[in-house]
Structure formats: structure tokens, C-alpha cells
Amino acid sequence: MIKAITGTKDILPWQISEWKRLEKTVENLMSYFNYKEIRTPTFEETVLFSRGIGEATDIVSKEMYTFIDRSETSITLKPEMTASVVRAYIEHKLSKKQNLHKLYYISSMYRQERPQAGRLREFHQFGAEAIGSNAPMLDAEMIELAYSILKSFGLKNLDIKINSLGVPAEREQYKTELRNYLKDKFELLSEDSKKRFETNILRIFDSKDEKDIEIMSEAPKILDFLSEESLKHFEEVKSYLDEIEIKYSVDYKLVRGLDYYTNTTFEIVSSSVGAQSALCGGGRYNLLIEQLGGPPTPATGFAAGMERILLACVNEGCNKEEEASLDIYLVRMEPAKKTAVFKISNTLRKNGLKTEMDYLSRSVKAQMREANRMNARFVLFVGGEEFEKGSVVLKDMETGEQQELPAKDLTPVISKLKNQ
Ligand code: HAM
């Protein structure tokens, strides 16, 4: 038997309604905040991500789906959207159109991670990117936007964590300090953290190893290395959040797994899912556009994992049952012709009525069972003596009431159903 690739999932018909509800929530909230949708290709030139996300990150160094295509180009399936959105922003010279672009997306992403609950190899994100302003208000708006979507979807157990990573010069100074602090504790670190000491020292804060956590809790804190300007930016972001009464905690360990961040970073975590508790993450990336060949342009954004959100929702019981519904089921009785039923279904569907009929030559009894299973509001009996006389019989499945109608003119059926 051929099975789906490890870390990928089918979304089955009965799961679709929750996906659609989430997508609708995203679309609504994005429009209230005036974000416009952008769609970019599934794959890009590998260099976009290696340069954009950073060679030393886990994503680029070990998780990307990269291959050489038939024209010898190195291609990568997008592991995230920020780099792609920035590429599109530069390529289409969006900066010439208007100063600030507020963009959003819903798309599938690809990362070859070790699959577990809430961690897949093909997963879906929605996210937003605001390109063209350094206003702390926009950082606060990003957090507000992400939080509002999660709340509006029905999630409760949410915590917002924020931090500031400053600008590269401040971060470099901080990294030197961190290296000094860790030097004589190096042997106590886990193997992973020892590697990170060389390649991406800030990520040691992400370690789940108990000894690492203990060591890092005493480590110097990034906020003590920020310039006055960076601190002021951070203070302003917090004051905007205070103003709209959004609760957050400052988490100096929040370093994020992508290299492009400057100043504000944030995550929203849920206590309703297991180890993969980050439902959403983001922050400011004021240097990325320039790094990818565009004009110096400040920007901020976030992305949220849809599978994790849906999982949290199931665990919290905020998911909604899909209501099966059908306007009308056509029950074919002998001696009606199949073509007569087929024609009626065409008329009803053309008039916007959700219509179903039998394709399996089932008995009248079995067809009625189907109509009930599908929660049909009405049943239309086609056949029998009435049909010989040119009539069909409409049954209201709620009241049980039946009405004979001319088969040739279904206008009364249509208007009756439309008025329900
Ligand atoms: P990220 O933290 O890598 O950030 O991903 C954002 C969210 O995507 C995570 O919080 C998580 O919910 C979800 N996610 C990530 N990897 C997986 C996976 N393997 N399986 C399931 N869900 C996953 C970014 O992607 C940045 N582009 C966010 C951003 C936008 N920063 C600025 N603008």
C-alpha cells in the first residue's frame, strides 16, 4: 500500500470545516486590520532562504527540502514565507507603489523536522508582514493581530512572550559576553549546546536539557546590552500593549530560530498543546530587505502554525461540529425515469439549492435513510402515480407536511426552499 510521506497529512472531508473556520477567522481579522493577501510560489531559489533565514539556523542547515532541478538550479520548497514575501516586495518594486505594505498569507510550508504532535514536514501557516515602517505601534499591532485571531477562533490558554534582540552591533557584544560566561561551563553543556556554542550561541536558550537550562538562567541578559534607542523602541511596544490591555511577559530567552530579527521578537504559546507549544512567532526584521538586495526598509511580521492551533482547539474543546445540511434530496420512485430526476436536480442546483439524489439504484426506503443521514430539509418524491399525472411530491422533513406540485414548474419548490 502506498502511504502518505512521513510528516505529511491528508485533511479529510470531516476535518475541512474547522480548517475553513480558521481560514475565515484569519481572513476576517486580516481585513479588519487592513492587510492584503499575497500568494507566492511553493518553491524558490535556495539562496533566497539560505541568505534570508541564515546559514547557521536549524532550518537552513538541516531542515530544507532542497533539490537540483532539470535545469541545474538549486530549488527549495519554502520553509517559511517572510523571505518569499520580501523577494516579491523587491522584485515587483512595491516600495514605489506606496510607503507601507500590510500583507498576509495562508500557505503550506516544508521543513524536514522530526515529526511529532504539532510538528510536521508539510504544515500550514498564516501570517502577516508589514513592510515600510519602524513604528513600535506596528510591532504592537502585529501582536494584537495574532492574538485577536487566536482569541476569535476560540482559544483561551494563551500566553504572549516578548523580547528585544536589539540591532546586530548590540547582539554581537552580547554574544561575546555570553561566550565569556559559557567558556568555563562548556564541558557541562549538552552535546547540542556545545555545537550551538560555535554555530549559533543564542539558540542555547532553546535547549530543553535541564543542566543547560540551569546554566542559562544565570547567563547575562540581552536587555542589558541594548542601546538607549533599542530600549526606547521596546518600551514603546510594551506601552502600546498596555494601552489596549494585552497581557504579556518579557522573556529574555526568546531568541527565535531565524537570523533576520532585529529589536522586537514575540511568541504566543498555548498550554493546551504538548511540547510544541508555540502557536505563533514573529518580530521585527529591519535589515532583511536590504540583505536580499532591496532598499533599506524596516519591517515586522509573524506566522502561526495552523495544525498546532487546530490541535489546541480540539484539546480545549473549542472546535465546532460541522452541521450536515442539504436543501433537498430527490427520491426516485418507480416508474420514474432516471433522466427526469437528473433534469430536476439540474434545475434545483442552477437555482442555488444544495441538492442530492441516488446514484446506486437504492430502494425508496434506502433513499429516505440517505436523506435523513444527510439531514435534508426537504425530500422531493419523483415517480409513482403523481408523476404519471405530471406532479411531484414535496415533503417537509421537519413538519412531515406533504404537498403536490407540478413537475414541469418547480418555481414554488424553489421559492419555498429559498424562503426557509
Ligand atoms: P517560525 O517560528 O519558524 O517563524 O514559525 C512560525 C510558526 O509556525 C511556529 O510558531 C509554529 O506554530 C509553526 N511551525 C513551525 N514549524 C512547524 C512544523 N514543522 N510543524 C508545524 N508547525 C510548525 C516563521 O516561520 C517566521 N517566518 C515568522 C515571521 C514572519 N517572522 C516575521 N515575519
361, 367, 273: which is closest to 329 by C-alpha? 367
Ligand 1 centroid from CA 277, angstroms: 11
Name the closest-CA residue to atom 8, ligand 1. Answer: 305
Residues 6 or more apart whose CB falls under 8 angstroms from that of 261 comprise 165, 283, 284, 285
CB 104 within 8 A of CB 36: yes
Domains in the chain, ordered, with CATH? Answer: 13-167+227-316 (3.30.930.10), 328-418 (3.40.50.800)
Structure-block grid coordinates of residue 291 = 540583505
Ligand 1 centroid from CA 275, angstroms: 15
In order along its 420 residues, the chain shows pLDDT tens digits of 999 999 999 999 999 999 999 999 999 999 999 999 999 999 999 999 999 999 989 999 999 999 999 999 999 999 999 999 999 999 999 999 999 999 999 999 999 999 999 999 999 999 999 999 999 999 999 999 999 999 999 999 999 999 999 999 999 999 999 999 999 999 999 999 999 999 889 999 989 899 999 999 999 999 999 999 999 999 999 999 999 999 999 999 999 989 999 999 999 999 999 888 999 999 999 999 999 999 999 999 999 999 999 999 999 999 998 877 899 999 999 766 788 999 999 999 999 999 999 999 999 999 999 999 999 999 999 998 888 899 999 999 999 999 999 988 888 888 877 877
Please report how many Cα atoms fall inside a 13 Å half-sphere around the Cα of residue 45, on the Cβ side: 10
Dump the DSSP string for 267-334: EEEETTSSS--EEEEEEE-TTHHHHTTS----EEEEEEEHHHHHHHHHHHT--------EEEEEEE-T
* Single-letter amino acid code for the residue at 53: I
Radius of gyration of the chain (CA): 28
Ligand 1 centroid from CA 18, angstroms: 20
pTM here is 0.94
Q: Which residues form the pocket of ligand 1, taking CB atoms under 6 Å from any ligand atom?
A: 80-82, 111, 113, 118-120, 123, 125, 127, 129, 257-258, 278-283, 285, 301-305, 307-308
